[in-house]
Structure 1
Amino acid sequence: MKMIDAHIHLDQYKNNEIELIVKGSVSIEAVLSVSNNLESCKRNLELSKKYLHVKPAFGFHPEQSLPTENEFYMLLEWMVEHRDEMSAVGEVGLPYYLRKEQKVSNLQFGQYMELLEEFIVSANKWEKPIVLHAVYEDAPVVCNLLEKHSVSKAHFHWFKGDEKTIKRMIQNGYHISVTPEIVYKEKIQKLVQTYPLEQMMIETDGPWPFEGPFSGKLTTPDMMKHSISMIAKIKNLSETEVSERVFENTKNFYLI
């Protein structure tokens, strides 16, 4: 069973844990390692040069304070310089959880929107997929921006949202990825029941920790075997067919 982790923060693991993830399983064909900021981008680029399995994505995670204007343009300039070495633009999006904690004003939210639109325009110009952090009511806002710039190669990771937005995303050809949370969360199971397998990938979002049967365990791509098993059960397909199809989806989406 060959697998690709479509979304992991490999640079946030300890060195010995990275060795375990990259070399510890014959099942893992590749990992798409997303970045949080410029330093994170540089680290992921280093890891991709050290390990052939690591495919880097460069961007700015929205669940943090806004960068200064200088920091943002330094990041964009660096991404331009290294665009041929990146598999995607990401992780980028909107600060849903910060806003829920009332740590983002309306003015600041508008600035996050401007950054995201800049990343969308750049991804389109560079012909790169874009990896999105856009959940619940933020998702339609992001769909508006993607449609505005005619971007279809969009990956909504660990997606959560309403039925209307899900239908819109399916029609637009956007991909989602499923975490091991599917094993114990009914809302993710319902999403998988609705979403076409042809537009689905699997991920860990590691080192983010999971609950249920994974409680207290280091998050590694091997956990995705359980995701495949649950997807197969929901879709009434064999685990072999599901694993092969999500594997091919990810290879084709990220040109791995």
Structure 2
Amino acid sequence: MGKSERRREPPPVPEALPAPAVDAHTHLDACGARTPEDVRALVDRAERAGIERVVTVADDIAAARWATEAASWDDRVFAAVALHPTRAGDLGEAQRSELAELVTRPRVVAVGETGLDYYWDYATPQDQQEAFRWHIDLAKRTGMPLMIHDRDAHQDILDVLRSEGAPETVVFHCFSGDEVFAKTCADAGYVLSFAGTATFRNAAGVREAARIVPVEQMLVETDAPFLTPHPFRGQPNEPYCANYTLRALAELRGADPAELAAATTATAERTFRFDRV
């Protein structure tokens, strides 16, 4: 099989983890799911790898509607709803009203993903910060965790959180900072979620952050279909690939995979309060 053919092939479903784990951030719709049968197939594969629950995350209004519906199709699926920072310019009154309603739906466990993204220029920093502030308020009004997208915007993210007052629970999805930023976030009580980037050889800062963050403030995610972990980088990603990332994180931290799976699952349960929905 040639290199281009391999890139189209998904990684093999690995042997199940020695303890159940959670994919704290995925996009089942972007993985190709449309129907209840599609969702079931994705989470069946994840469960075979020991990933027994997933949080499917919205990035626009259509995705938010779909995520809340998909979470009702399978009891292993939960949802998070928000408008992605690259779509912040679309956050009008109608969108605010609908998101405020969607976040109250059964099996919605977070406001996300929201935040700041200065890598792309689809929305101005001003529009992004205004939308971020609105989502922070929504999380505080509803008692929901806030799931943050942070790309090239570390300091502004912290500044907005400080000026607005952070919700009780804040999750930095796909943590992209270094050890210093990780310590700042951990000291503030925030939760850091690590994706396949923590397995990349050229991501030394993220890897060091993953090594030192307290395990009680650590989550594992895929951000599927993006960021497939090493050695499958560039191939299609799915929730089952959280298995590979968790094993790599355990090796990085010198931890037993079963203990890390149990610890990050406990963090997910405290963060998202699955038992309340």
RMSD over aligned Cα atoms: 2.1
- For 1:225, the equivalent position in structure 2 comes to 243
- For 2:10, the equivalent position in structure 1 comes to none
Of the candidates 65, 89, 93, which is equivalent to residue 66 of structure 1? 89
Percent identical across equivalent pairs? 23
Q: Which amino acid aligns with 2:109?
A: S
Q: Shift in Å at residue 170 of structure 1? A: 1.0
Deviations 1:144-192 (A, max 9, x none): 2223324241000111225443222111111111112322333322111
Of the candidates 158, 169, 177, which is equivalent to residue 185 of structure 2? 169
Of the candidates 136, 139, 142, which is equivalent to residue 157 of structure 2? 142
- For 2:116, the equivalent position in structure 1 comes to 94
Segments of structure 2 that go 5 or more residues without pairing to the other structure are 1-18
Q: Measure the CA separation in 1 of the matches of 2:210 and 2:182.
A: 11
- For 1:113, the equivalent position in structure 2 comes to 129
Segments of structure 1 that go 5 or more residues without pairing to the other structure are none
1:131 aligns with 2:181: no
Higher-helix-fraction structure: 1
Q: Measure the CA separation in 1 of the matches of 2:260 and 2:209.
A: 16
Q: Measure the CA separation in 2 of the matches of 1:84 and 1:114.
A: 27
Of the candidates 228, 253, 269, which is equivalent to residue 235 of structure 1? 253
Check whether the contact 2:109–2:272 (CA below 8 A) recurs between aligned residues.
Answer: yes
Q: Measure the CA separation in 2 of the matches of 1:162 and 1:75.
A: 36
**After TM superposition, which residue ranges in structure 1, 4 or more long, deviate above 6 angstroms?**
none
Q: Which amino acid aligns with 1:200?
A: M
Deviations 1:88-118 (A, max 9, x none): 000111122214xxx55xxx31121011101
1:1-256 to 2 correspondence within 5 Å? 1-15=19-33, 18-24=39-45, 25-26=47-48, 27-64=50-87, 66-67=89-90, 69-79=92-102, 82-83=104-105, 85-99=107-121, 103-104=122-123, 108-136=124-152, 138-148=153-163, 149-185=165-201, 186-210=204-228, 212-215=230-233, 217-256=235-274
Check whether the contact 1:135–1:161 (CA below 8 A) recurs between aligned residues.
Answer: no
Q: Measure the CA separation in 1 of the matches of 2:193 and 2:97.
A: 30
DSSP 3-state at the match of 1:160: coil
Q: Which amino acid aligns with 2:80?
A: A
Q: Measure the CA separation in 2 of the matches of 1:88 and 1:63.
A: 19
Q: Which amino acid aligns with 1:229?
A: R
Q: Which amino acid aligns with 2:71?
A: S
Q: Shift in Å at residue 124 of structure 1? A: 0.8
TM-score of the two chains, using structure 2 as the length reference: 0.81
Q: Measure the CA separation in 2 of the matches of 1:215 and 1:31.
A: 21
Q: Pick closer, same or farther for the CA change 1:3–1:85 going to 2, 3 Å.
A: closer
DSSP 3-state at the match of 2:231: helix
Q: Measure the CA separation in 2 of the matches of 1:163 and 1:214.
A: 25
Check whether the contact 1:140–1:165 (CA below 8 A) recurs between aligned residues.
Answer: no
Range with greater deviation from structure 2 (71-80 or 40-49): 71-80
Q: Which amino acid aligns with 2:155?
A: P
Check whether the contact 2:51–2:243 (CA below 8 A) recurs between aligned residues.
Answer: no
Q: Shift in Å at residue 211 of structure 1? A: 6.3
Compare relative contact order (CA 8 Å, sep 6+) and give the higher one, 1 or 2.
2
Q: Measure the CA separation in 2 of the matches of 1:6 and 1:115.
A: 23
TM-score of the two chains, using structure 1 as the length reference: 0.87
Check whether the contact 2:229–2:245 (CA below 8 A) recurs between aligned residues.
Answer: no
Count the aligned residue pairs: 248
Q: Measure the CA separation in 1 of the matches of 2:100 and 2:200.
A: 42
